[in-house]
Amino acid sequence: MEVGKRPSRVPFIIGFMALAVLLLIAIALPDVWAYRETRELQPGSRPAARAVLKAYQWSKLTGSYWENEIVEQARSIATKPLEERLEFYRAIVLHCDLQTSKALTFVEVVGEDAAPLRDNLRELKASSQFARLSHDAQQSVEDWITEMEIISQQKREEQEQKEQNEVR
């Protein structure tokens, strides 16, 4: 470097611009992914599913807690037709990691829709679409069919017990 000349700021500016572009991509990625995975859902379930999937992706980047979004969006679609609620649940089963507390939250949210969700997942498993799913998604469908069967059985037993208590 010559005496009296200042170092060029061009490398610093290029580095800063590259960092800004990477940051913008990281910010947009959860939105793009959630949009892509929910674009074929019905208009009634799409926004709720998109919000949960977006929160799930953000949690993978930031470590944030995303289960609240499941509960909030489930409330928003509680009065929607069953078909739309099932699409919402199915999107979560296919695209989110539902382990430990997340699974408990999901089971609570599904509630009385457990038997219809089980049937919906069975139909998915029997369809040609199932073979196009990733191995993880296929495993999730199979696991949640079993889980929903258990929940459905528990609900039936609770209902029978309630009816017996009313007869007495």
What does the pLDDT average to over 6-25? Answer: 72
In this structure, the dihedral spanned by the alpha carbons of residues 61, 74, 87 and 81, taken in order and rounded to 10 degrees, is -160
132 DSSP assignment: G
The per-residue pLDDT for 3 is: 59
Q: Do 94 and 86 contact (CB within 8 A), yes or no?
A: no
What does the pLDDT average to over 130-159? Answer: 91
9 exposure class (CB count in 10 Å sphere: 0-12, 13-18, 19+): exposed
Count of all residues that appear for the chain in the document? 168
Average pLDDT over the chain, rounded to an integer: 86
The per-residue pLDDT for 132 is: 92
pTM of the model: 0.77
Residue 21 clears pLDDT 80, i.e. is over it:
no
Rounded Cα distance, 35 and 54, in Å: 8
Residue 23 clears pLDDT 60, i.e. is over it:
yes
- Write the pLDDT tens digit of every residue in 64-103: 888 899 999 999 999 999 999 999 999 999 999 998 889 9
Residue of 93, 103, 85 whose CA lies nearest to 125: 93
Q: Do 70 and 52 contact (CB within 8 A), yes or no?
A: yes
